[in-house]
Structure formats: structure tokens, C-alpha cells
């Protein structure tokens, strides 16, 4: 496996659509150039997401593991099962990042898990410090804290200007999920 000469920390955040999509676009580009990508999704329920099936077509160079409890998370309520799933996913992320087997690791929706206080910010910051220098690490989700924004090498904020939902158009299969 070829290594990146320098692995950075990227963040895709903001209220707008496209954070996960941007990270997955990076994964496709990387696989196209012979790099290996591992994606860990947090907090996305138990299925129905097109990326889960679509990314299977990029295996073995791109792998995805999914950690999420059923149902919506409400800040301060109903957190035990969601917290357990985030913890399992985070332990797996630590293994993958330090393994040296993957060029790019994407932690999809980890920033939401932080905002919902399902995992302490200090643990995720510690993981950033453990990241080998040749591994690119991508964090996605809303509400990136200033601490993470300062720590990252690249930060892109998705800003929603207009969304079909505002016109009564519900989420569409293959487009929003």
C-alpha cells in the first residue's frame, strides 16, 4: 500500500446538506488513485442509506462500518443505546487509525456525537494526537467546536441557502439518503 506523504485532518461541518457527500466523494477519488479508505458512520440508525450499498462496490479498497441506534437522538434524553453505539464505533475507529492499513479514515457524523455529548471531546482530541502522520483523517457533522476547527488543517462549512424541504419536498431515495 502506498502511503500519503502527509496526512491532514479535515472537517466538513455546517447546517447545510453535503457533509457526508463531500467525504464520500473524497473516498471515491482516493480509491481511484489506489489509496485505501475506511469509513465509520456514527448515529445513522440501522439502514436505508444508499451509501451503505454503493460503497460495497468499492471493496476491498474502501470499507464502511456503521454504528448507530434506531431512532432520533434528543439532547439530554434517551442517550444510553446511542452512547453505547458511539463508544463501539469510536473504539473501532481507534483500531483502524493506528493500524497503518488505511490511508484515509472518515469518521462520519462524529461531530454530531460530540454535540450530543455521547463521547467526550477530550477523547476525540486524543485520537487526533494518536493519528499516524501519513493517515488523512476526516470528521463530519454539524456543530464543529472551535477547538476542532482550530486543530484541523482544512475546514469546510456547508451553508444552507435553499432546500427542497422548505417547499414540502421530502427526502428522496438516492439523493438525500
Domain boundaries, the chain: 9-167
pLDDT at residue 74, as a whole number: 66
pLDDT at residue 56, as a whole number: 85
pLDDT at residue 43, as a whole number: 82
In CATH, the number for domain 9-167 is 3.40.50.300
Q: Look up cell 444510553; give the residue.
A: 80
Which residues have C-beta within 8 Å of that of residue 114, sequence separation ≥ 6? 121, 124, 141, 143, 145, 148
Give the closest residue to 83 by CA, choosing from 97, 95, 67.
67
pLDDT at residue 71, as a whole number: 67
pLDDT at residue 82, as a whole number: 83
Q: pLDDT tens digits for the chain (177 residues)?
A: 567 789 999 999 999 989 999 999 999 999 999 999 999 999 876 666 777 788 888 999 999 998 977 666 767 666 788 889 999 999 999 999 999 899 999 999 999 999 999 999 999 999 999 999 999 999 999 999 999 999 999 999 999 888 888 888 888 877 777
pLDDT at residue 5, as a whole number: 84
C-beta separation of 118 from 83 below 8 A: yes
DSSP 13: E
Cα separation, 65 vs 52, in Å, equals: 9
pLDDT at residue 125, as a whole number: 97
pLDDT at residue 1, as a whole number: 57
pLDDT at residue 78, as a whole number: 61
* Degrees, nearest 5: CA angle 41-105-91: 60
Amino acid at each position: 500500500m502506498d502511503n500519503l506523504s502527509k496526512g491532514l485532518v479535515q472537517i466538513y461541518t455546517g447546517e447545510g446538506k453535503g457533509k457526508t457527500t463531500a467525504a464520500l466523494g473524497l473516498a471515491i477519488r482516493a480509491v481511484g488513485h489506489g489509496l485505501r479508505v475506511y469509513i465509520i458512520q456514527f448515529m445513522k440508525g440501522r439502514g436505508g442509506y444508499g451509501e451503505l450499498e454503493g460503497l460495497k462496490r468499492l471493496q476491498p479498497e474502501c470499507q464502511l462500518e456503521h454504528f448507530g441506534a434506531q431512532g432520533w437522538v434528543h439532547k439530554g434524553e434517551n442517550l444510553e443505546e446511542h452512547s453505547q453505539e458511539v463508544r463501539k464505533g469510536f473504539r473501532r475507529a481507534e483500531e483502524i487509525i493506528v493500524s497503518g492499513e488505511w490511508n484515509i479514515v472518515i469518521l462520519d457524523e462524529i461531530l454530531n456525537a460530540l454535540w450530543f455529548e455521547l463521547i467526550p471531546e477530550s477523547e476525540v482530541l486524543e485520537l487526533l494526537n494518536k493519528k499516524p502522520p501519513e493517515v488523512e483523517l476526516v470528521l463530519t457533522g454539524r456543530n464543529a467546536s472551535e477547538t476542532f476547527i482550530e486543530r484541523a488543517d482544512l475546514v469546510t462549512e456547508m451553508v444552507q441557502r435553499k432546500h427542497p424541504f422548505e417547499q414540502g419536498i421530502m427526502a428522496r431515495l438516492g439523493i438525500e439518503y
